[in-house]
C-alpha cells in the first residue's frame, strides 16, 4: 500500500466516523416532540441502556396504536416492587410527556453515579408511559391543539367524539364532576373502563397491583399535587400520610425555582370528580397515589412555552423523587434502619463505642 492510499483510506474512515457522530444528534428535552419522535426516543433509550430499559407494550388505543411504557430497573431476577408514572392521559397537556421523558433521562443519569438511585433501581422497577392517550396527542398536533379526550366515537345518538379518560376509570364512576353528554370535555364514557386506554392501565397495573408502591399520573396545569379522593364523600385511609408526603414534595419543588404547589384532595383544592386513574389506583390498594398538575397557573395554561419546559421538569423531578424515595425507604430501608438500631443497642449494652468499631 502506498502512503497516498493509506492517507486516502484514513480520510474515508474518519469521515465515516464523523458522519455517524453527526447523525446521532442529542435529543432535545426542552422542546415538545410529536408522537413519532417520542416513539423513536423510546427505542433509543432501550438501545442505549440494554441492561436497564425495556419497552413493554400493554394495550392498544382506539385507533389501534400500541401503548408502550419503559420498564426501567436492574434485572435482579427477584420479584421487585414498582413505581408507576403515566403522562399524556390528556392530549393537550404537552408538558406532561415532556416531563416523563426528562424523568427517564434523569433517573438513568443519576444511576451512573448516585448509590441511592442504584439502590432504588435494584429494589424497584420504574414503569413510565410517556404518552398514554396517543390518539389524542397526535390529534392535538395535527388538528386541535386544545384537544383533551381520546378519539373514540360517541354513542350512535351523538355526533361528537372522545371520552375523558380521567373520568373513565372504575372509581365511583359517573357520580360527580362528569358529564354524560358526549360533546363535553368531561364525558365519562358509556360505562366504567369503556375505553381501551383506560382498560390497558387497569389491566396492567391491576394484575400486579401489590407490587406498586406508588402511582403518579402527570397533568397540567395549576401547580397542584392532588391526593385521593375526587369524591368529597370519601377520604383515603392514609390521607394524613398522603398529605405529609405531598407537602414535603411541594417543599422540594419550591426549593428548585420558588414555585408554589398546592397539596390536597381534588374537592378541596380544585373540583370534585370521579373516575380518575389516581382514585382507581388508591382504591386498588396502591398506597401513594398522586396527580401532578404541572405549571403554570393559567397565564399560558396548556400552551406552556418551551422555555419553561426545563424549569418545570427540574422542580417536578424533585417533587416526584421525594415521593418515590419515601415509598422506597418505607419499604426497604425501614428494615435496615431497625437492624442497625438493634445492633447499636446491643453494642452499647456491652459497652462498645463507635470509635472502637473502626
Ligand atoms: Zn389533565
Does residue 50 register a pLDDT over 60?
yes
Report the chain's mean pLDDT, rounded to a whole number: 91
The CA 57 to ligand 1 mean position distance, Å, reads 23
User: Alpha-carbon distance 294 to 218, whole Å?
Assistant: 8
**Which position has the grid cell 436492574?**
74
**Tens of pLDDT, residues 283-329:** 999 999 999 999 999 999 999 999 999 999 999 999 999 999 999 99
The CA 219 to ligand 1 mean position distance, Å, reads 4
Q: 3-class DSSP state for residue 268?
A: helix
* Cβ atoms < 10 Å from Cβ of 47: 9
Put simply, whether the predicted model's pTM sits higher than 0.85 gets the answer yes
pLDDT for 333: 77
pLDDT confidence bin for 358, thresholds 50/70/90:
very low
Q: 3-class DSSP state for residue 337?
A: helix
Q: Nearest-CA neighbor of 205 among 190, 221, 216, 220?
A: 216
pLDDT for 257: 98
| CATH C-level class of 33-347 | alpha beta
Which residues are marked as active site?
Answer: 293
Looking only at the bridges linking them, the beta strands covering 124-129 and 224-227 are unpaired
The CA 152 to ligand 1 mean position distance, Å, reads 18
**Tens of pLDDT, residues 217-273:** 999 999 999 999 999 999 999 999 999 999 999 999 999 999 999 999 999 999 999
User: Alpha-carbon distance 45 to 52, whole Å?
Assistant: 9
Q: 3-class DSSP state for residue 311?
A: helix
| Torsion sign, CA atoms 328, 278, 169, 196 | negative
The CA 178 to ligand 1 mean position distance, Å, reads 14
Q: Locate the domains of the chain by residue range.
A: 33-347
Cell matching residue 326: 419515601
- In a 13 Å sphere around the CA of 81, the CA atoms on its Cβ side amount to 21
The CA 162 to ligand 1 mean position distance, Å, reads 14
Spatial neighbors of 351 by CB under 8 A, at least 6 apart, are none
**Which position has the grid cell 389516581?**
278
Looking only at the bridges linking them, the beta strands covering 124-129 and 288-294 are unpaired
pLDDT for 356: 37
Max CA separation in the chain (angstroms): 87
Amino acid at each position: 500500500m502506498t502512503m497516498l492510499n493509506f492517507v486516502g483510506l484514513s480520510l474515508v474512515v474518519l469521515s465515516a466516523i464523523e458522519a455517524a457522530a453527526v447523525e446521532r444528534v442529542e435529543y432535545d428535552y426542552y422542546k415538545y416532540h410529536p408522537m413519532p419522535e417520542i416513539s423513536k426516543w423510546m427505542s433509543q433509550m432501550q438501545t442505549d441502556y440494554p441492561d436497564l430499559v425495556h419497552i413493554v407494550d400493554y394495550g392498544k388505543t382506539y385507533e389501534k396504536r400500541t401503548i408502550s411504557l419503559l420498564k426501567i430497573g436492574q434485572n435482579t431476577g427477584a420479584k421487585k416492587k414498582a413505581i408507576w408514572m403515566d403522562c399524556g392521559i390528556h392530549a393537550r397537556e404537552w408538558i406532561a410527556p415532556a416531563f416523563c421523558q426528562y424523568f427517564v433521562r434523569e433517573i438513568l443519569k443519576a444511576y451512573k453515579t448516585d448509590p441511592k438511585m442504584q439502590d432504588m433501581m435494584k429494589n424497584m422497577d420504574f414503569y413510565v408511559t410517556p404518552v398514554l392517550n396517543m390518539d389524542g396527542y397526535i390529534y392535538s398536533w395535527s388538528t386541535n391543539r386544545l384537544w383533551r379526550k381520546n378519539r373514540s366515537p360517541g354513542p350512535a345518538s351523538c355526533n361528537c367524539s372522545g371520552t375523558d379518560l380521567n373520568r373513565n376509570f372504575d372509581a365511583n364512576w359517573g357520580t360527580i364532576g362528569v358529564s354524560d353528554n358526549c360533546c363535553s370535555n368531561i364525558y365519562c364514557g358509556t360505562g366504567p373502563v369503556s375505553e381501551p386506554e383506560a382498560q390497558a392501565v387497569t389491566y396492567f397495573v391491576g394484575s400486579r397491583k401489590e407490587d406498586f408502591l406508588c402511582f403518579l399520573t402527570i397533568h397540567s396545569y395549576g401547580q397542584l399535587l392532588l391526593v385521593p379522593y375526587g369524591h368529597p364523600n370519601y377520604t383515603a385511609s392514609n390521607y394524613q400520610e398522603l398529605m405529609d408526603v405531598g407537602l414535603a414534595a411541594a417543599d422540594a419543588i419550591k426549593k428548585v425555582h420558588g414555585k408554589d404547589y398546592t397539596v390536597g384532595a381534588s374537592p378541596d383544592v380544585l373540583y370534585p370528580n370521579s373516575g380518575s386513574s389516581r382514585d382507581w389506583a388508591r382504591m386498588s390498594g396502591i398506597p401513594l397515589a398522586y396527580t401532578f398538575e404541572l405549571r403554570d397557573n393559567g397565564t399560558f395554561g396548556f400552551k406552556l412555552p418551551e422555555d419553561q419546559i426545563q424549569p418545570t421538569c427540574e422542580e417536578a423531578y424533585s417533587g416526584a423523587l421525594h415521593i418515590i424515595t419515601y415509598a422506597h425507604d418505607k419499604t426497604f430501608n425501614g428494615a435496615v434502619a431497625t437492624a442497625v438500631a438493634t445492633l447499636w443497642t446491643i453494642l452499647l449494652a456491652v459497652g462498645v463505642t463507635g470509635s472502637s468499631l473502626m
